[in-house]
Amino acid sequence: MNVSTSSLHQQLPIIIDIEASGFGSGSYPIEVGFVLPNGDAFCSLVRPEAEWTMWDEHAAELHHISRQMLFKRGKSCQETAIWLNRHLRGATVYSDAWGHDISWLGLLFEEANVPQLFKVEAITTLLSEDQMRIWAEMQADVIATLNVERHRASTDALVIQTTYHWVQEQGKGNPDRRRDPGTVVDSPIKLGTAKTKRTG
């Protein structure tokens, strides 16, 4: 049965991803990205607050974002918080690192002195046990197919959203569709050609 584009859009969750200065005490968000149900990706660097000094060089080797880049191109916490609320107000968005991401988002909105107008849930709340078991394998296939820069917020969000889509197709008995995303009927996800709207 064919699935209409509008129906598919309704089925795909909004995914949010955050890159940070590191993990643990003193870490803070440095880039926020999200992907809407239609596949549009958005991304913004975050300029560190004066007291945000923790910097993990190992993490920097993964995301390739320097502190100099953040101060040159990043937006303030307030600008970033307002931007997120404008796009995500009233929505429930999903993360594959919920524990970390809600902490970093909470810090960002606290520094911005702006209320967070959207809700963040773990992507696992949308998955069955069977789907969780195949998630890692499916995500590896998605990463190989997308051929995008990893450990940047919007592309990681796209990987998560696409993995969710492929896992759903696998559950419907359409395993071939995960191998060739171009065969997914009316898919809004144009793998390999996705464009991110960067604000920083």
Q: Percent of the chain scored above 90 by pLDDT?
A: 68
pLDDT (0 to 100) of residue 63: 87
Tens of pLDDT along 98-110?
A: 999 999 999 999 9
The strand pairing partners of 121, in sequence order, are 94
In this predicted model, what pLDDT tens digit does every residue of 127-165 receive, in sequence order? 999 999 999 999 999 998 988 766 689 999 999 999 999
- Is pTM beyond 0.95 here? no
* Residue whose tokens read 């509008």: 6
Predicted local confidence at residue 197, as pLDDT = 62
Provide the 3-class DSSP secondary structure of residue 22.
coil
Burial class (CB in 10 A: 0-12, 13-18, 19+), 151: middle
Question: What letters, b where the CB count within 10 A reaches 16 and e where it falls short, cover 14-28?
Answer: bbbbbbbbbeeeebb
pLDDT at 176: 54
15-171 CATH: 3.30.420.10
At 174, the pLDDT band (50, 70, 90 cuts) reads low
Supply the pLDDT for residue 136.
Answer: 95
Bridge partners, residue 75, by sequence: 46
pLDDT for the residue numbered 3: 39
Q: For the chain, what are the domain ranges? A: 15-171
Dist. CA 101–CA 25, nearest whole Å: 14
CA angle at 189 for the pair 188 and 195, rounded to the nearest 5°: 110
Residue indicated by tokens 């917020």: 153
Nearest to 94 by CA among 181, 15, 35: 15
Where does residue 173 rank: exposed (0-12), middle (13-18), buried (19+ CB within 10 A)? exposed
Q: Select from 21, 48, 16, 53 the least CA-distant residue to 32.
A: 16
Tell me the pLDDT tens digit for each residue of 44-80: 999 999 999 999 999 888 888 999 999 999 999 999 9
Among 6-15, 75-84, 90-99, 110-119, the range scoring the smallest mean pLDDT is 6-15
If pLDDT is split at 50, 70 and 90, which confidence band does 11 have? confident
